């Protein structure tokens, strides 16, 4: 039987038989500061080789947590800086690709510095990139992003600790090639969170601890995490995260949270975390939107519902596709028909027509007007990329299309939406905080 150190009412840890629910027990124990020895021990044994690669990240970055400029970078022109224009209201963030972090895109990083004060790794802080092989961590790109954030006086957001995608297959496999046991997966999750969050302790403002755990109807998604660890896997993840960096903000992040059923599922999940004594600093509403969906009212209803939990609301991963949804197309077998349909589904390869550009501007304007209305509840709005050329929207839900979902063109030219947002912020009249 598993032996735990028990948290007693007097605050001391006592040894006793393990609780029936391993994960809830773990959550309670971690909260009390009494980590179960076997989990921590087995994690450090399994990952004995990881210590060398998991030392502290190089840059001292209290500035990164606070978002205050650390270096001697010139201040952006407030009249032409989204980050300054929206500073009275919320952080304005973007997501950077590996190439951008490495400085391999001419012109991108100065533009990022000018307009954004919160950085998220589009990919390089996901499990697959940080720990592709068990016990072998690669922090090179994540460290570079941290250094960049510090240099730019921006906050850094960690994305993401527990997700069912971009997690290597080995994580869920046991030594015999079958599914990992609950104990083994728990040890791996513990090791990953402790190693990653430990490295960046005090340097990352907040973490997307759990990403996309819900189905569209608000029920828990069927993933290896849930199948192996049980329905309360997210309690464990938050408890581990809280222990690894007690001062970091911890977030739940998901898409389509404007949908009423999924909204309710997220509220339930957050309430359960809170009932277990865990801190949920924010709920990330991924904003993968379109020109005509979702209805603003649905987004507003979710902002209100999430704010009512006491958590901050964050609009994360904002982008607005201008392309038709392939699911609505009738694709037949005839080759000529197929070519015609392809063109219909990818209509703007030669550039964005003025009327669609105008619709995109209006959509961004309407969304930000809503965000400003709820700025007291919203701590951050993050675009999912800098420019259209990098956007995942070009490849989803169909490969090889030309989308225009972000605020800057492929050549980094600001779109009319940027002017509209600067104007909107100026009209809102808040005092500048940066
Ligand atoms: O890095 C490899 C490269 O070496 C290889 O040559 C190339 C071949 O396809 O693939 C590259 O990896 C790709 C990676 O993006 C970096 O470009 C992956 O195949 C591709 O799957 C991956 O897509 C990312 C996707 O998450 C994975 O699910 C997108 O860039 C990223 O924008 C997207 O972001 C997610 C959020 O994390 C969570 N919410 C939804 C959002 C959109 O899917």
pLDDT tens track for 50-88: 333 334 443 333 435 544 344 444 555 657 999 999 999
Paired tokens of 351 = 């550039």
How far does the centroid of ligand 1 lie from the alpha carbon of residue 123, in Å?
6
Q: What integer pLDDT is reported at residue 378 of this predicted model?
A: 98
Q: What integer pLDDT is reported at residue 44 of this predicted model?
A: 32
Atom 19 of ligand 1, nearest CA residue: 166
Query: What number does CATH give the domain 83-324+354-428?
Result: 3.20.20.80
How far is it, in rounded angstroms, from Cα 413 to Cα 398? 25
Helix (H) or strand (E) holding 250: strand 249-255
Q: Which atom of ligand 1 is nearest to the CA of 385?
A: 32
Q: What integer pLDDT is reported at residue 331 of this predicted model?
A: 64
Catalytic residues: 212, 317
The verdict on the CB of residue 392 being under 6 Å from ligand 1 is yes
How far is it, in rounded angstroms, from Cα 172 to Cα 162? 12
Q: What integer pLDDT is reported at residue 228 of this predicted model?
A: 98
Q: What integer pLDDT is reported at residue 341 of this predicted model?
A: 80
Q: What is the pTM of this model?
A: 0.86
DSSP conformational letter for 218: S
Helix runs in 116-259, H state only: 127-130, 140-152, 182-199, 224-229, 233-244
The verdict on the CB of residue 128 being under 6 Å from ligand 1 is no
Contact 383, 318 (CB under 8 A): yes
How far does the centroid of ligand 1 lie from the alpha carbon of residue 70, in Å?
31
Which contacts of 396-400 are long-range, i.e. CB under 8 A and separated by 24 or more positions?
397/325, 397/326, 397/327, 398/326, 398/345, 398/346, 400/346
The verdict on the CB of residue 99 being under 6 Å from ligand 1 is no
Paired tokens of 106 = 């001419």
Q: What integer pLDDT is reported at residue 14 of this predicted model?
A: 29
Q: What integer pLDDT is reported at residue 106 of this predicted model?
A: 96
Q: pLDDT under 50 in the chain at which residues?
A: 1-25, 27-63, 66-73, 432
Contact 213, 254 (CB under 8 A): yes
Q: What integer pLDDT is reported at residue 413 of this predicted model?
A: 97
How far does the centroid of ligand 1 lie from the alpha carbon of residue 321, in Å?
17
Q: What integer pLDDT is reported at residue 339 of this predicted model?
A: 80
The tens digit of pLDDT for each residue in 16-44 reads 223 334 444 454 444 444 333 333 323 33
DSSP conformational letter for 126: S
- Cβ neighbours for 423, distance < 8 A, ≥ 6 positions apart: none
How far does the centroid of ligand 1 lie from the alpha carbon of residue 122, in Å?
8
Q: What integer pLDDT is reported at residue 24 of this predicted model?
A: 46
Contact 367, 79 (CB under 8 A): no
Cα-Cα end-to-end distance for the chain: 55
Q: Which atom of ligand 1 is nearest to the CA of 384?
A: 32
How far is it, in rounded angstroms, from Cα 164 to Cα 160? 10
Q: What integer pLDDT is reported at residue 26 of this predicted model?
A: 52
Q: What integer pLDDT is reported at residue 431 of this predicted model?
A: 58
How far is it, in rounded angstroms, from Cα 421 to Cα 424? 5
How far is it, in rounded angstroms, from Cα 31 to Cα 262? 28
How far is it, in rounded angstroms, from Cα 171 to Cα 167? 7
Q: At what angle do helices 296-307 and 354-373 cross, to 10 degrees?
A: 30
Place of tokens 């004594």: 277
Q: What integer pLDDT is reported at residue 11 of this predicted model?
A: 31
């Amino acid at each position: 039987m598993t032996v735990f150190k028990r948290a007693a009412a007097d605050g001391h840890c006592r040894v006793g038989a393990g609780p029936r629910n391993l994960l809830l027990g773990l959550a309670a124990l971690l909260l009390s500061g009494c980590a179960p020895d076997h989990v921590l021990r087995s994690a450090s044994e399994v990952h004995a080789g990881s210590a060398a690669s998991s030392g502290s990240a190089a840059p001292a970055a209290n500035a990164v947590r606070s978002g205050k400029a650390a270096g001697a970078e010139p201040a952006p022109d407030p009249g032409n800086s989204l980050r300054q224009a929206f500073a009275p209201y919320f952080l304005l963030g973007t997501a950077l690709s590996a190439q951008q972090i490495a400085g391999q895109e001419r012109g991108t990083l100065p533009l990022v510095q000018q307009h954004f004060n919160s950085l998220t790794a589009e990919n390089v802080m996901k499990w697959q990139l940080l720990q592709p092989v068990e016990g072998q961590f690669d922090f090179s790109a994540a460290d570079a992003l941290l250094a960049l954030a510090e240099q730019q006086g921006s906050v850094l957001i960690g994305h993401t600790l527990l997700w069912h995608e971009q997690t290597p297959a080995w994580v869920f496999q046991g030594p015999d090639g079958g599914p990992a046991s609950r104990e083994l997966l728990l040890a791996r999750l513990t090791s990953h969170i402790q190693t990653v969050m430990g490295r960046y302790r005090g340097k990352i403002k907040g973490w997307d601890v759990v990403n996309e755990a819900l189905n569209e109807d608000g029920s828990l998604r069927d993933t290896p995490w849930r199948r192996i660890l049980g329905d309360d896997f997210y309690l464990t993840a938050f408890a581990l995260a809280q222990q690894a960096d007690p001062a970091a903000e911890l977030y739940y992040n998901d898409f389509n949270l404007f949908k009423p059923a999924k909204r309710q599922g997220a509220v339930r999940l957050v309430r359960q975390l809170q009932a277990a004594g865990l801190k949920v600093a924010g709920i990330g509403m991924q904003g993968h939107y379109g020109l005509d969906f979702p209805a603003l009212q649905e987004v507003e209803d979710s902002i209100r519902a999430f704010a009512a939990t006491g958590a901050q609301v964050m609009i994360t991963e904002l982008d607005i596709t201008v392309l038709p949804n392939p699911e609505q197309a009738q694709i037949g077998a005839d080759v000529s028909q197929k070519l015609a349909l392809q063109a219909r589904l990818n209509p703007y390869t030669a550039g964005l027509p003025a009327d669609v550009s105008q619709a995109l501007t209006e959509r961004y304007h309407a969304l930000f007007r809503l965000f400003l209305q709820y700025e007291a509840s919203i701590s951050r709005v993050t675009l999912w990329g800098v420019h259209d050329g990098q956007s995942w929207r070009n490849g989803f839900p169909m490969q090889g299309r030309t989308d225009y979902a972000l605020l800057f063109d492929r050549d980094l030219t600001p779109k009319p939406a940027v002017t509209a947002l600067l104007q909107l912020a100026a009209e809102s009249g808040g005092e500048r905080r940066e």
